[in-house]
Amino acid sequence: MTLMKAVRIHSYGGPDVLVHEDVQKPEPAQGELLVAVHAAGVNPFDWKVRTGSVKGVRRLPLIPGWDVAGTVESVGAEVSRFKPGDAVFGLLSVVKDGAYAEYAVAKAKNMAFKPRSIDFVHTAALPVSALAAWQSLFDLADLSSGQTVLIHGASGGVGHYAVQLAKWKGARVIGTTSGGGIDFVRDLGADEVIDFRNVRFDDRVRDADVVLDLIGGETQKRSWQVLRKGGILVSSVEITSPDTDARYDVRQKLLMVHPSADELTRIAALIDEGKLRPVVSRVFSLADARKAHEFIQSTDMQGKAVLKIRD
């Protein structure tokens, strides 16, 4: 049995349930890749799984982390697109072990070639968050040039990609954030930045075509009235009032991020063209996964946190 280092959850709870230990190295099955993990993104979804608030992932013990960037170690049967040594990234299956490990198994159909112009750490900050932004704006909201989009949580992991992608599309972008996020979001290209701690966005915004809600709760409840008739609210968090869309004559959709190698390939191309950049707020070692979880839960960070697992 070949062992590797990984971080596993044996019971639900706080960051202390993340255990850095030796586990069996996996093997790729048909249609799968074995990836030597260079870096793994750290997402709110990870700590929600850790606390037990997200159901439907595999039984304990489990390895969290579903953002992966690395090199192909070996391939399973019927894999022809990739070969050992290829630099790849992608979104792992949530029903299998994740990327907080030296090696991870990925479905080949969900993986894409790594952007050439950035390192593995910044590549690992892409899959979940960049796909969430892309799918919210383009697959669900069908955002087009000349429209206005309001992005709540514009300085965060999903938000900072959404600002850039919306500007690339030719939209007018309004972002809500606070503190150090104000200059950060402005530097990303937002046309207007609202400090939500000092200004009510619903006093400033009217007739938006799209609201991207990454916050939920009261923020979402106050967002319906800023949309034009026929506009759309897309939430990555929740739909607080299922009947509100009819009352305001608007639409609503709840985002469920799904793997897409095609969309990751398009995102990688934008990065290599200099039109999109991932921002990494902090880098942690695999052994410091607990600190990474504490950081993302306690900080209004700008961009993403990442575990660096190998050079």
Residue 149 belongs to some domain of the structure: yes
pLDDT digits (tens, 9 = 90+) for 75-105: 999 999 999 999 999 999 999 999 999 999 9
Residue 271 belongs to some domain of the structure: no
pLDDT score recorded for residue 244 = 74
pLDDT score recorded for residue 242 = 66
For 187-209, b/e burial (b = at least 16 CB within 10 A) is ebebebbbebeeeebbeebeebb
Structural domain boundaries enclosing 99: 3-126+278-308
Q: What is the CATH number of the domain that holds 157?
A: 3.90.180.10
166 lies in the same domain as 245: yes
Closest CA to 237 of 218, 250, 260: 218
Which stretches in the chain have pLDDT values below 70?
242, 245
102 lies in the same domain as 158: no
Cα 221 to Cα 244: distance, rounded to the nearest angstrom: 9
Residue 188 belongs to some domain of the structure: yes
Number of domains in the chain: 2
pLDDT score recorded for residue 167 = 98
**3-state SS record for the chain:** CCEEEEEEECCCCCHHHEEEEEEECCCCCCCEEEEEEEEEEECHHHHHHHHCCCCCCCCCCECCCCEEEEEEEEECCCCCCCCCCCEEEEECCCCCCCCCECEEEEEHHHEEECCCCCCHHHHHCCHHHHHHHHHHHHHHCCCCCCCEEEEECCCCCCHHHHHHHHHHHCCEEEEEECCCHHHHHHHHCCCEEEECCCCCHHHHCCCEEEEEECCCHHHHHCCHHHEEEEEEEEECCCCCCCCHHHHHCCEEEECCCCCCHHHHHHHHHHHHCCCCCCCEEEEEEHHHHHHHHHHHHHCCCCCEEEEECCC
Cα 129 to Cα 137: distance, rounded to the nearest angstrom: 12
Residue 272 belongs to some domain of the structure: no
| pTM (2 d.p.) | 0.95
pLDDT score recorded for residue 255 = 97
pLDDT score recorded for residue 310 = 96
Residue 51 belongs to some domain of the structure: yes
pLDDT score recorded for residue 246 = 75
